[in-house]
Amino acid sequence: MKKLLFSFSYFTAILGLIILVVFYLGYSSLNNSRYFKISTDSKILVLGHSHPECAFNNRIILNLTNLGKSGETYFYTYLKLKKILPQNKQIKFVLLEFENSEVDTVMNSWTWDDSHIYHMFPRYFPLMDKSDLKFILSKNSKAIFNCLPRNFINEFGFNIYSNYLKKKGIISNKRFGGYNGLKRNKVDTITNNSSKYKSLNNNAIPFCNVFYLQKIVNFCNSNKVKIFFIRSPFHRNYKYAVNESKYNMVKKKYFSRVELLDFKDFHLSSTDYGDLGHLNYSGSNKFSIFFNKLLNLGLLDKVDKATFIKNEIHKNYY
């Protein structure tokens, strides 16, 4: 019996050790002082979900890094931001996407429903502190425990590999965001079937999303980084556009001090959209050229940014 216990313990101890080493390396790779280091020329950081990810082409807009990531709600953005700002003191401005879907309760499921946890938790887990972990565990602990070990191994393996590449100065992937130029255009097919979205009228507010948005704002303020909300262009038939009044109410009630750079009325044709919410490559290029021009004209220093944007849109497109 002793022999069995010894052999079994020996076998499992080595296995445990291997798991611990992979875990440690994967965890510490993401938590070292370099992982989120971005170009020292970048003074502006763009964050948010897939809308900014597809809108801001940072090959066109100078001094800007786009780290928008599809499916990322404010909870996950906050985790990322906590690592990015301390590692990048050159960042002076954060442009955070704040559009109509952010005030819809769909954001709750984007944060903690089974399918999102399944993909997001293994990736963002090393960025969480106790309170973040407690929060997500309180929302859907079952899904967290059901995450496949494979996902953790993949993520941790990628962390180690990316860290190795970063040491060599190679930015290997967009696991935590980056510009994504869409090639598709599905607007026509979607608008033909969009009648079902007209019934969207939900007054409930995703308080967790709002809570983490507040945390992002506070974090930027405490790091002396100026934060702006930004609303990237979307198609007039975009399904969440119907909750404009709720959107304005949330903005006014919780974030009146944060300025909004609103581009929802930016002039684009249907062929410039990948779908109703996202710009495609062509649209993002047009928008990025325009946005770059505004930056050069001192958009972020203007007193009345909304009027400035409106005037510039009018001047350029009408």
Partner 1 sequence: MLFNSIDFLIFLPIVFFFYWFITKNSLKFQNLLLLVASYYFYACWDWRFLFLLMFSTFLDYYTGLKMQNTTLISRKKFWFWLSIFINLGFLAVFKYYNFFAKSLVEGLNLLNIKANLTLINVILPVGISFYTFHGLSYVIDIYKNRIKAEKNFTDYAVFVSFFPLLVAGPIERATHLLPQIKKKREFDYYKAVDGLKQILWGVFKKVVIADNCAEIANEIFNNYGDYSGSSLVLGALCFTFQIYGDFSGYSDIALGTAKLFGIDLLRNFAFPYFSRDVAEFWRRWHISLSSWFKDYLYIPLGGSKGSMWIKIRNTFIIFIVSGFWHGANWTFIVWGLLNAIFIMPSIIFNTNRNNIEIVAKGANIPSFKDFLSIFFTFCLTVFAWIFFRSDNLKAAIVYVKNIFSITFFTIPKIQNVNNISYTSIMVIFFLVIEWIGREDKYAIETFGKKYNKKYKYLFYYLIVFLIIYYGNFNKNQFIYFQF
Contact between 3 and partner 1 by CB under 8 A: the answer reads yes
Contact between 149 and partner 1 by CB under 8 A: the answer reads yes
Tell whether the torsion through CA atoms of 298, 210, 219 and 112 is positive or negative. Answer: negative
Count the site residues for partner 1 by CB under 8 A.
Answer: 14
Report which of 300, 286, 187, 178 is spatially closest to residue 232, judged by C-alpha positions. Answer: 286
The answer to whether 214 touches 117, Cβ cutoff 8 Å, is no
d(CA 262, CA 310): 9
Would you tell me how many other CB atoms lie within 10 Å of the CB of residue 45?
A: 26
d(CA 187, CA 198): 16
Smallest distance, Å, CB 117 to partner 1?
A: 14
Contact pattern from residue 151 through residue 190 relative to partner 1, giving x for each residue in contact according to CB under 8 A and a dash for the rest: --x-------------------------------------
Single-letter code of the amino acid located at 237: N
In this chain, which of 40, 141, 146, 271 binds partner 1, going by CB under 8 A? 146
d(CA 24, CA 47): 28
Contact pattern from residue 224 through residue 263 relative to partner 1, giving x for each residue in contact according to CB under 8 A and a dash for the rest: ----------------------------------------
Contact pattern from residue 61 through residue 100 relative to partner 1, giving x for each residue in contact according to CB under 8 A and a dash for the rest: ----------------------------------------
Residues that bind partner 1 (CB under 8 A): 1, 3-4, 7-8, 11, 14-15, 18, 146, 148-150, 153
